[in-house]
Amino acid sequence: MTRPATENVYIERQDYPFCPGCGHGLILNALGSALAKLNLPPKDVAIVTDIGCVGLSDAQLKVHSFHGLHGRSVAYASGLKLAQADLHVIVLMGDGGTGIGAGHILAAARRNMDISVLVFNNFNFGMTGGEHSATTFNTAMTTTTPTGNPEMPFDIAATVTANGASFVARKPSTDRDLFDVVAQAIATPGFSLVDIWELCTAYFVPANQFTGRMFREYAERSGMQMDILTDKRRATLGAYMQQLIETAPPRAQSIPLPISFRHSLKTRRGLITAGSAGGKVKSAVGLLARAAIMSGLAVNQKDDYPVTIKSGHSVSTLILDPQPILYNGVAQPDAVLLLTAAGLQRIGAQLASWPQDVQVYAETSLTLPPTKARVKRFDSRNLSRELGKENIALAVVASVLLEQAYFPLKALKTVIVKRMKVEYREQALAAVESVAEQSIFEQ
């Protein structure tokens, strides 16, 4: 295979700053030839270089260059490609970068990010002084493994092959057709990686009496396949994103809440509704909040639930205020809706400190700690039977609204009609109407 000779379109200078005999220059030459073979306009090519000796490459090239943090080159490349789909994005990283940035490489392979990664793999850290890297062979000598490397080498090519990459190869830097394999990688629509084995003449070569003739022998000994490991096609993340854009609805507009009702409040009210996860506490209080806004009140709803959101308590604190709300803490509520034992457990400790002017509405089976607060009872089993389990919280909220008369019940019904999903709407309305006809509170 003849190498195109027009590499100076892409390469600024061939006075590479690397040690004599270092493999990096061979790879950059192959990259220049690959770009020439593909005849890509330099303005459409972006090189992303990682840290290490390879990071000096950007100054040698005549294409766009992005030199970022150690190990993150694949993440930058992904961002460039997603944001500017016309770019051919090529990562130049060392084996050190594949160790610290392994997660990004895996993710890019799984996403089939349309970028190409060239690994300048010389089995140790050059720039910092010959320390072992993720790809150092077992038993190899480095400055941090003076008695031989106890770790197994990271088979980067096999790993990305197993994780969705489109084109993967492993090549010695000395192979004459390296440029052709690099060109194939760049031309692949999807994630491509070439694990290029090369010599670090400053450290790995002298420490291990290593030569270029030993690449294939080492590969065999480590059970690593050379040449092309995979070459297949599937959709890229960029194509998926493009499709999302093409099929997206127009940007959602907010639906305002017109003031259509009158409230009766002169001062702020605080309501705490305490129930269990899955009990629709948040949504019932949210409906009340919207109804309050439609009645001209300022509103604030704070929800409290454990990180495991399907278990334990669900507590919503609602402030209703005829004035704008600044500070939104509720030291002492005006009304407390206790729906379940989990809710009681969450806020029960405060009950003892609440005075008589706090009105508690508690489920009939709950055993309350001693309190001066006034207590009314309701039976949630009845509500569940008559209105459905998912409407208990709403029924209690509506009942408290009726009792407290902050604003008309009609405001709540209007919100249900306007804002609830059609499949829940009828039942919810029926629940509110039912509690309006007959109080849920025990006499």
Partner 1 sequence: MSETGLSTLEFLDGNDAIMRAALDAGCTFFAGYPITPATSLLLAAIRDMPSVGGIAVQTEDEIAGISMCIAASMTGRKTMTATSGPGLSLYSENIGLAIMAEVPLIIVDSQRMGPATGGATTQGEGDIQFARWGSSGGYPLIVLAPRDLKSSYELTLHAFNLAERYRTPVLLLTSKELSLTRQSADTSRWQRPELINRKQFAGSLEEFLPYRVDDGEEVPAFLPFGAEAQVRFTTSIHGDEGIITNDIVKRRRKLEHLANKISWDKPGVSLYAADLYSEADTLIISYGLAAQASVDAARQLRGYGFRVSSLVLYTLWPVPEGIISEVLGEHKNIVVPEHNNGQYLRELERLSFEQNRFVAVQSFDGSLISPAEIIQAVSEEPPLLLGAAND
Checking 144-153 for CB contacts under 8 A at 24+ apart, the result is 153/123, 153/222, 153/224
Separation between Cα atoms, residue 237 and residue 345, nearest integer Å: 47
Concatenated DSSP letters of 116-154: EEEEEE-SB-TTTTS-B-TTPPTT--BTTBTT---SPP-
Q: Which stretch binds partner 1 (CB under 8 A): 76-84, 195-203, 225-233, 364-372?
A: 76-84
Separation between Cα atoms, residue 77 and residue 50, nearest integer Å: 11
Show the tokens assigned to 330: 């509720």
Concatenated DSSP letters of 388-439: -GGGHHHHHHHHHHHHH-SS-HHHHHHHHHHHS-HHHHHHHHHHHHHHHHS-
146 binds, among partner 1, ligand SF4, none (CB under 5 to 8 A by kind): none
Distances (CA, A) of 28 to 62, 278, 364: 12, 59, 78
Give whichever of 17 and 369 is closer to ligand SF4, judged by the CB atom.
17
Q: Which stretch binds partner 1 (CB under 8 A): 70-78, 148-156, 333-341, 372-380?
A: 70-78
Kindly state whether residue 440 participates in binding ligand SF4, applying the rule CB under 6 A.
Answer: no
Kindly state whether residue 140 participates in binding ligand SF4, applying the rule CB under 6 A.
Answer: no
Name the pairing type of β-strands 374-378 and 335-338: unpaired
Rg for the chain, CA atoms, rounded: 34
Select from 168, 200, 274, 299 the one that contacts partner 1 (CB under 8 A): 299
24 binds, among ligand SF4, partner 1, none (CB under 5 to 8 A by kind): ligand SF4
Q: Which stretch binds ligand SF4 (CB under 6 A): 32-40, 122-130, 225-233, 280-288?
A: 122-130
Kindly state whether residue 428 participates in binding ligand SF4, applying the rule CB under 6 A.
Answer: no
Instruction: Report 148-207 residues binding partner 1 (CB under 8 A).
Output: none
Neighbours of 63 (CB within 10 A): 23
x/- track of binding to partner 1 for residues 238-257 (CB under 8 A): ---x--xx-xxxxxx-x-xx
DSSP state of 367: -
Residue entry with tokens 């160790």: 99
Kindly state whether residue 22 participates in binding ligand SF4, applying the rule CB under 6 A.
Answer: yes
Select from 13, 43, 176, 221 the one that contacts partner 1 (CB under 8 A): 43
Q: Which stretch binds ligand SF4 (CB under 6 A): 17-25, 336-344, 365-373, 419-427?
A: 17-25
The burial class, CB within 10 Å (0-12 / 13-18 / 19+), for 215 is: buried
Neighbours of 420 (CB within 10 A): 17
Select from 14, 323, 353, 365 the one that contacts partner 1 (CB under 8 A): 323
Name the pairing type of β-strands 64-67 and 45-49: parallel
Q: Which stretch binds ligand SF4 (CB under 6 A): 105-113, 120-128, 234-242, 326-334?
A: 120-128
Separation between Cα atoms, residue 70 and residue 51, nearest integer Å: 5
x/- track of binding to partner 1 for residues 47-66 (CB under 8 A): -x------xx-xx--xxxxx
What is the nearest approach in angstroms of ligand SF4 to the Cβ of residue 53? Answer: 3
Show the tokens assigned to 369: 């700690």
Residues contacting partner 1: total by CB under 8 A: 74
Instruction: Report 174-213 residues binding ligand SF4 (CB under 6 A).
Output: 200-203
Separation between Cα atoms, residue 347 and residue 327, nearest integer Å: 21
Give whichever of 265 and 360 is closer to partner 1, judged by the CB atom.
265
Q: Which stretch binds partner 1 (CB under 8 A): 197-205, 293-301, 354-362, 374-382?
A: 293-301
x/- track of binding to partner 1 for residues 331-370 (CB under 8 A): x---------------------------------------
Q: Which stretch binds partner 1 (CB under 8 A): 156-164, 207-215, 302-310, 333-341?
A: 302-310
Select from 71, 126, 172, 238 the one that contacts ligand SF4 (CB under 6 A): 126
The site for ligand SF4 (CB under 6 A) is made up of 18-19, 22, 24, 53, 122, 126-127, 200-203
